[in-house]
Amino acid sequence: IIIESWKRRKLVGKKRNQFIPTVDRIAQYIEENPNTINNEDFMNHLMTLFTAAFDTLTIVSSFAILCFGMYPEYQLSNYFSLKLLDKWIIPKEAAIAISIFNIHRDKSYWEHPEHFYPDHFLPEAIIKRHIYAYLPFSAGPRGCIGTHI
């Protein structure tokens, strides 16, 4: 179905959202190299891509909500800033990323953020820290499928 959909889009020159070009590239590769991947492997790759895309969107929106929840004094000013920017609002299907590197080095949560410090992960340290200050596998119901492995 996906390959057939790609062929129809290719014939009419129709472009879709930001994720579809990745699928199109994979479908084109399979068409040009028919013996390199079977349908089952192709579907498994697509499921991985879809899962990763949903995970990214979940992390970004959750982190934004977390930040505004932690710093309510910025909610109203940022709302008005968006209005002042001539309605510059994040468009539907926009690709967004958060800096997990910086979250994991936030001095307000980590005693020694720039150093390997195993005591950061002692139970008493974990209890004191915000639940989303450490995101090795994302968080929430759409987090990384490898969380519990």
**Dist. CA 32–CA 135, nearest whole Å:** 39
Nearest C-alpha neighbor of 117 from the set 130, 137, 132, 134? 134
Tokens (6 digits) for 41: 């492997």
Whether the CB-CB separation of 89 and 82 falls below 8 Å is answered with yes
**CA 117 to centroid of chain Cα atoms:** 27
Q: With contact defined as beta carbons under 8 Å apart, do 116 and 22 qualify?
A: no
According to the annotation, is 67 in a ligand binding site?
Answer: no
- Among residues 91, 87, 99, the alpha carbon closest in space to that of 63 is found at 99
Q: For residue 93, what are its two tokens?
A: 């299907």
Q: What distance, in Å, lies between the first and last C-alpha atoms of the chain?
A: 32
Specify binding-site residues: 144
Write out the binding residues for heme: 144
